[in-house]
Amino acid sequence: MKHLNINIIAALMLLWLLPQTGKAQQYTGISGLVHVPSGEMNHEGDAFIGAHFLNKAMTPDTGFIYYGDGEKYHTFDYFVSLTPFSWLELSYVCTERIYRKDAQGHVINWSKDRYASVKIRPLKEGKYHPAITIGGNDVLTAGYLPGHSEVQLYFCNFYAAATKHFTFGGNELGLTLCYRYYLRGYNAKWNGIVGGITFRPAFFPQARLIAEYTGNEFITGLDMLLWQHLRLQASLKDFKHFYGGICLQFNLLGKKYKY
């Protein structure tokens, strides 16, 4: 009887897991790979609220260093995002900054870098052509840049991305190619042509394996959607530095998607 109960519970958990699918998550709440934007879009009505751990190996080299000794620190961000239409994604992100620590190492001064991200899809994916998206981070303050070096813009960048998916035997392979430009010189290492590959296995379609090149490093990762509302992403930079996050996902139109 005891074994039967355990089997039933395991079967129910498996049933919960099977119908849902993972799609994408970036540290901005906008769809993409890990650090590289993609041509994919979230579904119309999708709303996210979540947080992401940002390893110091992946933060900009300015702005995220301790006051005084100049050492970089790990941090995190949190975000809300929405896909009001199938062709538009919006998000608002706060990245935690530490200004100062006391003698015992406790943080006594906090601040936040806040920015808005936008992604637009002018061309939907077709049988023979990829989906094309254009977008950017910190788009509202980007206009202040000329003559305003004090404006932070740590994550400000613009991009155009293309993604094409191929299916074989129920598996899905996605190829992404992107041109990205960061406005601040200290982020120039992530400029230029970047891209990645995703793979969604047929036997476990709610998960997605990711391999990408950011322009400066390789990142491998995994993301998945559990119980229709919990989205997880975990990744490693150069197989060493962890970078990951968690978020809650809701479809405000009340729709349930297989993919």
According to the binding rule CB under 8 A, does residue 92 interact with other proteins?
yes
Taking the least distance from each CB to other proteins, the nearer of 86 and 191 is 86
First-to-last alpha carbon distance for the chain, in angstroms, is 37
Which residue in 84, 122, 170, 192 binds other proteins (CB under 8 A)?
Answer: 84
Supply the minimum distance, in Å, between the C-beta of residue 153 and other proteins. 15
Q: Which two tokens stand for residue 255?
A: 């729709």
Taking the least distance from each CB to other proteins, the nearer of 100 and 129 is 100
Q: Which positions from 104 through 123 interact with other proteins, judged by CB under 8 A?
A: 108-112, 114, 116
Give the range of 102-110, 165-173, 180-188, 239-247 binding other proteins by CB under 8 A.
102-110
- SS3 for 83? strand
Give the range of 2-10, 80-88, 172-180, 218-226 binding other proteins by CB under 8 A.
80-88
Q: What angle do CA 78, 230, 177 make, to 5 degrees?
A: 70
d(CA 241, CA 94): 22
According to the binding rule CB under 8 A, does residue 47 interact with other proteins?
yes
Which residue in 24, 41, 54, 90 binds other proteins (CB under 8 A)?
Answer: 90
According to the binding rule CB under 8 A, does residue 140 interact with other proteins?
yes
d(CA 87, CA 89): 7
Alpha helices, H only, the chain: 2-17
d(CA 230, CA 250): 9
Taking the least distance from each CB to other proteins, the nearer of 29 and 196 is 29
> The tokens 């190492």 sit on which residue?
105
Rounded to 5 degrees, what are φ and ψ at 187? -105, 10
Contacting residues toward other proteins, per CB under 8 A: 45, 47, 82, 84-85, 90, 92, 99, 108-112, 114, 116, 140, 252-254
